Structures are given as C-alpha cells and as structure tokens.
Amino acid sequence: MAEPAPDRACVINVINPNTTESMTALIAQAAQLSAGPHIRIVGRTSSFGPASIEGHYDEALATIGMLKAVAAGDAEGVDAHVIACFGDPGLLAAREITTAPVLGIAEAAMRAATFIAIHFSIVTTLTRTRVIAEHLLRNYGMEHACRRVRAVDVAVLDLDKPDANVRGLLLRECRDALDHDGIGAIVLGCAGMADLAQDLSSELGIPVIDGVAAAVRFAEALVGLKLKTSKVGDLAFPIPKARTPI
C-alpha cells in the first residue's frame, strides 16, 4: 500500500506575551524540541507590555501585545497559536480574533495532567502568582484535580540566573509535593521552566509537565484533526464597532 504523503509543514506561532527576548528563545527552543517532525515553531516576543508577567496588572497590559502577536501570526498564515505564559493571559480574546486553534500553556498542562493522573500539584514562580493559577483552575473546572499550588519564590526573570539555583529549588518543592500532596503528576507553572521538566521528571520518577510542550502537541493534534476555533456562538469574531487600533 502506498505511504500517505506527509502533510505540509505545520507552523505554530508560539507567543511569549512578555517582552523579554531571551525568554522567547528558551521557549521556542523547548517548543521545537518537543514538537513532532513537520512542525515549524515561530517564536514571537510581545512588542508591548511588561518584561515579565507576575500579577493581574501585568496580565492586563500583556494581553494587548499578545493579541498583536496573534494577528501577526495570522497574517503569515500560521496553523495554530500558543500563548506561552502560565496565566493564559487573553486566551479567550485571542480565540475570538482568529480561526486557528489557540492553546494556553496552563490549560494545556492541566488537561495533560488529568489524562495521566487523578491529582496533580502546580509549582510556580512567586507566591504572588499562585492566585492566577487558582483562578484558572476554577475557570477550567480543574479544582478537584489540583491538590496544591506551590511556589518557589523566584521571579520570572531570575529563572535563568545560575545563582538562583532554580533546579535545586524546583527539585525540593516537587519532592515535597510528591511526598505530601497525594499526587500522580506535577505541572510547572511558568514558561521559563520549560527546559527543566524532563530532567525533573527523570530525577523524581513522576511525570512533570511543561505547558509549552503540552500546548504545542495539542495544537499539532487539533491541526491534524482539521479542527479550528469555532466562529459559531461564544467565540465568534468580535462585534464590529469603533475601536482605537491596538
């Protein structure tokens, strides 16, 4: 029997909604490493907003730059978008303005966790950002599955600083979660932790889920299934009206 012709390359627009280029490079590399063959990752840095997203104000500002990055990806004809920040800032707004699938890394990681475990814990950056994950858990109907939202108290922009000992802190917090939370999986709560998941998983002997990889693979699956964001009902294009251009 003849082999099916490989699909044309699928292009995924991986948006870092903060304005830090070095973080985009880390995210894009992790995305490409976790993607299947025939997947091309376009890493895109927000052109507007905060250098890192660590609170509600940061999220509100970051949403504008993220939406511009979705529009830029659509103009290039990408097949799907990933919002690579664990607060999934502006996820539903992004789904309104495009027909391509849009995945947020928090939702993707949480859903991946529930496919392979009954309960999970999240390990995020600053204690202050825990409330963002808690709100998402409620919105996504995942409260029952998440045992605890933990933090290592490292700022997003310190994650790649060798002095911050991020691997050591994450290892300690994940081990504590494993010993005390009654969980089967751990979700990492920041895109800037994407390069650490596999190493932590091997060291701890428990699935450690990076949302960037999960979102890229779910995006691939939706593109493969030829499923697009529905324009019927709640995610229809925004109602035309006078708006200040973004």
Q: Which residues bind ligand 2AL (CB under 6 A)?
A: 18, 52-54, 85-87, 124-125, 129, 156, 189-192
Q: Of 18 and 229, which CB lies nearer to ligand 2AL in the complex structure?
A: 18
Q: How far is the CB of 211 from ligand 2AL (least distance, A)?
A: 8
Closer residue to ligand 2AL, CB minimum distance, 212 or 223 = 212
**18: DSSP letter:** S
Q: Tell me the torsion sign for CA atoms 149, 150, 154, 158.
A: negative
Q: Tokens at residue 223, please?
A: 């593109």
3-state secondary structure string across 145-181:
CEEEEEECCCCHHHCCCHHHCHHHHHHHHHHHHHHHC
Nearest to 98 by CA among 15, 40, 41: 15
Helix, strand or coil, per DSSP, at residue 128: helix
Q: Are 81 and 102 in contact (CB under 8 A)?
A: yes
Of 129 and 229, the one with the shorter C-beta distance to ligand 2AL is: 129
Which residue number, 86 or 120, has a Cβ lying nearer to ligand 2AL?
A: 86
CB of 193 to ligand 2AL, least distance (A): 8
Q: How far is the CB of 6 from ligand 2AL (least distance, A)?
A: 33
Toward ligand 2AL, which CB reaches closer, 10 or 26? 26
Residues 153, 185: Cα–Cα separation, whole Å: 21
What single letter denotes the amino acid at residue 78?
A: V
The number of residues in the chain equals 246
Q: What are phi and psi of 89, to 5 degrees?
A: -65, 130
Smaller CB distance to ligand 2AL: residue 145 or 154? 154
- Shortest Cβ 69–ligand 2AL spacing (Å): 14
Residue 62 CA to residue 53 CA, distance in Å, equals 7
Q: How many CA atoms lie within 13 A of 17 on its CB side?
A: 31
State in angstroms the smallest separation of the CB of 187 from ligand 2AL.
11
State the minimum distance, in angstroms, from the CB of residue 213 to ligand 2AL.
Answer: 13
Tokens of 104: 């947020």
Q: Please, what is the minimum distance in Å from the beta carbon of residue 216 to ligand 2AL? A: 15
* Closer by beta carbon to ligand 2AL, 10 or else 197: 197
